[in-house]
Every structure is written in C-alpha cells, then in structure tokens.
Amino acid sequence: MQNHPVNSLSMDFLTEFLINLEKLENDRSCRGIILTSGVPKIFSAGLDIMEMCGKSAEHYAEFWRAVQEMWLRLYQSNMVTIAAINGSSPAGGCLMAMSCDYRIMAENPKYSIGLNETRLGIVAPFWFKDTMVNTIGNRATESSLELGLSYSSPEAHKIGLVDQLVPEEKLQSTAAAVMSQWLAIPDHARQITKSMMRKPTVDRLLAHREADIQNFVSFISKDSIQKSLQMYMEMLKQKRG
C-alpha cells in the first residue's frame, strides 16, 4: 500500500485496492499475498476521515459500501493473506490486518494497532467487532473497543492481536517464510477450512448489509458526530504543531 501520507482508505484507494485484489484472486498463478506498506512508519491510518466529513448522504453510502466490499473480499479471499505490519495501524488499518490469515508486526514500541474508534466519538460497526472477537476473543474485545485501545507491538503480540513480532529488518523475509509454510497446505483443503471458520461472520454482514449502510449514513450525518470528527482532525494537526 502506498497512498501518501498515511495510507488512509479513501474512495480512490479502496477502488484501486479492490481492482487489484480481484485481479490477483483471478490469477491462478497467484496463491498468496503479503499486505504491507510502502509508507514509512505507517501501515494504514484506517478510513480516510475526509470521506466522512461534510459530504452528502449519497457519498457516505457509496463510501461505506466500498469499505464493506474491501472487508468482504479480503476476509474471504481464497489466497493466503499475510499482513506484514510495518507501522501504525489504527481502526480500519487494524481491520485490514485482522482480515488476513496471519499477522507479523515489526518490533517497534512506537507502532500501535487497535480499533480506536470510540476515541474519535464514533462506534466500530458489528462486523469490525466480530472480526476482532474472532482474533482475540470476546472479553479482550469488549474492553478494547469500549476504551478505543491502541496497543504497542509488544502489547498487541501479548493479547494475540498479532501472531508474531520480528525486528523490522526481518519483517519481509519472515512474511515470505511464513507464506511458504502456508502454501505447503493443499489450496482446496485450506480454502474450505477458511470458509468454514469465516462464513458465519461474513453471512451476518451480508444479511444486514443495506441496514448497515443506512445506519452508517444516519450516524455519520449527525451534527454531533461531524463535530467530533472535525475536532479529531484539528487535534491531529495540533499534535504536529
């Protein structure tokens, strides 16, 4: 991923991501992908907040459908998906990483990962929550979501949010080595097993997809939520000085 400055998931980025994912999915010679960042110190800043500020209801609906589509495709991918997390990964960035089959994070206490939505005054939707429950369990997810916790890489490893920690310079080679282990399993057996594990979570969104879009549109359109997001963007600017 290389969408400067912070790999935020804008409409354009999501569209390009989906096109590329589909191309790889349809390429029979491609059995696995490593998701990583070409932006130093940042894996992905999550959803592009500008896409959720001061836009029309139609725009919010279209944007949310694209976010859903990204998750549906990545979470159910037939390919082996490995996240090589080489930087901070808040909110939607954390969702992307959790949607992969395996997560390896660079050992750097400055990098953080987590679903921090409540800190922005917004609420992670049920399928973000389900994805986290499937990764770290119900109890850890509950406090994590309520407090909008961001974990340093050692903390993330401790709670199982990432599977492996490695020195930054070994991240890509470790991801390649892990990929080889996963590719040693016959594709059809691995794919059926993955589907068996993930289908109930996917089906829940598919059954409520339109309601989830409506819910997002009405929530994000509220004046109070727009204000919270604007204040958060201001806070990011001030932090930089």
Active site members: 47, 92, 116-117
Instruction: Tell me the C-alpha distance between 46 and 96, whole Å.
Output: 8
Q: In degrees, to the nearest 5, what angle opens at C-alpha 46 toward C-alphas 43 and 52? A: 155
Between 149 and 179, whose beta carbon lies closer to ligand CO8? 149
Instruction: Tell me the C-alpha distance between 81 and 104, whole Å.
Output: 11
Closest distance of CB 128 from ligand CO8, Å:
6
Closest distance of CB 61 from ligand CO8, Å:
13
Between 32 and 87, whose beta carbon lies closer to ligand CO8? 87
Query: Residues interacting with ligand CO8, by CB under 6 A?
Result: 5-6, 8, 42, 45-50, 88, 90-92, 116-117, 120, 122-125, 216, 219-220, 233, 236-237, 240
Tokens of 187: 């594709």
> Which residues partner with 42 through β-bridges?
88
By beta carbon distance, the residue nearest ligand CO8 is 46
Between 48 and 101, whose beta carbon lies closer to ligand CO8? 48
Q: In degrees, to the nearest 5, what angle opens at C-alpha 198 toward C-alphas 150 and 182? A: 85
Closest distance of CB 81 from ligand CO8, Å:
19
Instruction: Please compute Rg for the chain using Cα positions.
Output: 17
| Helix, strand, coil % in the chain, rounded to nearest 5 | 60, 15, 25
Closest distance of CB 119 from ligand CO8, Å:
7
